[in-house]
């Protein structure tokens, strides 16, 4: 069974090729989709490659698409459905990385770390602080997939009051194990000191956090987005930060890389990172191993994990 792997050019292709070709037979690895046609039955791609109609037309024998990522909004689902092509993702490999990144951002805001770092570099020595503790804060998790659950597990050790919203309510047993309580989205937004988004981008939830939602947040609330930039109305976020002291922690942007001259980057109470919350040495190793294992299952006639379509 022929396998085509499309990787972005900044990934160490040779190292991955050395690993993959020890496990899978008949594999082609490329960093470009600028080809006329391939007879591959399996396609492996990251979110950096649009798996759109243009690419899929070049793969007439395609039966299975494996996205080496949690997100798969780069995939044309309608074309896959029409051609009855299987789609799987890897939703668990970066759950630890993202959960830790979210907690790091929250702590940096609560402890005013960037402010103190800046003051020290200026030669100042602040004696007073308005730093606060994570313990006892109401932490709202929007989306309880693999990452949301892992975040909730980590927050158990910090003594937070953790609430969550998800279209599918957890069982009472799972809620008890994770130490979480269900709120509808409006309840969560108004009750939380810290809000973190962990939902996939769909056709129906673009700008799910907009001006109305920011108005319902507590003044000075910490708002964290490591999911997708399109989930948030950026202009509304900027306004809420300036008028209500909302403290943004942003890892994802509607256009990436974002415009460095954007008004977003003038906010003094914000923390930014370059869509890297899920990227650690360990998580990338897990993505590679779990992706290869899933493809191997499919090529051997075994049902692959994490099937989306």
264: tokens are 């977003």
**Residue 175 contacts residue 152 (beta carbons within 8 Å):** no
CA 165 to CA 188: how far, in whole Å? 7
Would residue 63 show up in a list of annotated catalytic residues for this protein? no
- Closest residue by Cα to residue 279 from 32, 21, 46: 46
CA 127 to CA 105: how far, in whole Å? 23
115: tokens are 């402010």
CA 71 to CA 3: how far, in whole Å? 21
**Which among 256, 263, 282, 307 is annotated as catalytic?**
256
**Which among 63, 181, 275, 286 is annotated as catalytic?**
275
Radius of gyration of the chain (CA): 21
CA 195 to CA 152: how far, in whole Å? 12
**Residue 209 contacts residue 165 (beta carbons within 8 Å):** no
Would residue 181 show up in a list of annotated catalytic residues for this protein? no
**Which among 228, 234, 247, 290 is annotated as catalytic?**
228
**Residue 237 contacts residue 214 (beta carbons within 8 Å):** yes
Q: In what order do the strands lie in the sheet with 42-45?
A: 27-30, 3-6, 42-45, 64-67, 86-88
CA 177 to CA 282: how far, in whole Å? 26
Query: Cis peptide before 257, with omega less than 30 degrees from 0?
Result: yes
Would residue 53 show up in a list of annotated catalytic residues for this protein? no
208: tokens are 């799910």
Query: Which active-site residues does the annotation give?
Result: 228, 256, 275
């Amino acid at each position: 069974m022929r396998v085509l792997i499309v990787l972005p050019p900044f990934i160490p292709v040779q190292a991955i090729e050395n690993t993959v070709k020890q496990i899978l037979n008949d594999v082609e690895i490329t960093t470009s989709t600028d080809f006329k046609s391939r007879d591959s039955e399996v396609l492996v791609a990251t979110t950096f490659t649009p798996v759109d109609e243009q690419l899929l037309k070049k793969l007439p024998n395609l039966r299975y698409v494996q996205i080496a990522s949690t997100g798969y909004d780069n995939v044309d689902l309608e074309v896959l459905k029409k051609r009855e092509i299987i789609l799987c993702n890897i939703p668990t490999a970066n759950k630890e990385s993202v959960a830790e990144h979210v907690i790091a951002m929250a702590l940096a805001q609560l402890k005013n770390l960037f402010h103190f770092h800046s003051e020290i570099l200026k030669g100042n020595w602040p004696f007073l602080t308005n730093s606060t503790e994570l313990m006892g804060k109401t932490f709202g998790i929007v989306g309880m997939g693999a990452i949301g659950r892992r975040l909730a597990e980590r927050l158990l050790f910090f003594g937070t009051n953790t609430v969550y919203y998800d279209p599918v309510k957890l069982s009472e047993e799972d809620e008890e194990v994770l130490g979480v309580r269900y709120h509808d989205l409006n309840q969560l937004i108004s009750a939380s000191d810290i809000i973190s988004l962990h939902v996939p981008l769909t056709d129906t939830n673009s700008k799910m956090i907009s001006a109305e939602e920011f108005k319902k947040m507590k003044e000075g609330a910490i708002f964290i987005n490591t999911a997708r930039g399109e989930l948030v109305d950026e202009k509304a976020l900027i306004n809420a930060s300036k008028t209500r002291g909302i403290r943004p922690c942003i890892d994802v942007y509607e256009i990436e890389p974002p415009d460095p001259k954007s008004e977003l980057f003038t906010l003094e109470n914000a923390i930014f990172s370059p869509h890297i919350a899920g990227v650690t040495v360990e998580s990338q190793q897990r993505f590679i191993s779990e992706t290869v294992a899933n493809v191997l299952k499919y090529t051997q006639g075994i049902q692959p994990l994490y099937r989306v379509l």
